[in-house]
Amino acid sequence: MTTSEAGSKDSSSTVPASTTPDGDRLCQAGDVKLALGQGDAGAGSVYRPLLITNDSSAPCEIQGFPGVSYVAGDDGHQVGEAAYREGTKGAPVRLAPGQTAAADIQFVNVHNYPESVCRPSPVRGLRIYLPQETDSNFVPMPGTGCANTDLPGNQLAVKTVHRA
């Protein structure tokens, strides 16, 4: 679901959808439903899959890294740096209507940073940009992020989209 609640654009633009070499169109913000799957913890982080489900009536294709960042406030302003892209760009994933792909996100426990380094800030959730897309989606996830954009490490990291 696309929402302006987190400062994103409306996905009902009049720009035609791009197509892939196979003729499928690229998945766009308005085509998908996003959710966070169950995660695993380890070494000061939690790892959760971002589940990307084709909610449209036509197939679409997705490839690469989604843009992920914490957002806060009624205006949906970004908190800290966007997620670091970890690994290499994967193969294209074709999603028929109702099919799901995933991109794994690492959430560092920001309380492991000293407060003076992190500058803890409440967040409402995540702003997500699908690969090659300029409209965003919002995924609610209240918590805490680091407002400092010069952390010794990454508070968020994301891997390429893959079959779920």
Q: Which two tokens stand for residue 129?
A: 């940009």
Q: Are strands 67-72 and 120-129 parallel, antiparallel or unpaired?
A: antiparallel
Q: What is the pLDDT of residues 105-151, one digit of tens each?
A: 999 999 999 999 999 999 999 999 999 999 999 999 999 999 999 99
pLDDT-derived band of residue 43, with 50, 70 and 90 as boundaries? confident
Hey, which residues does 126 pair with through a beta bridge?
Answer: 70, 139
CB 103 within 8 A of CB 161: yes
Which pLDDT value is given to residue 136? 97
pLDDT-derived band of residue 29, with 50, 70 and 90 as boundaries? very high
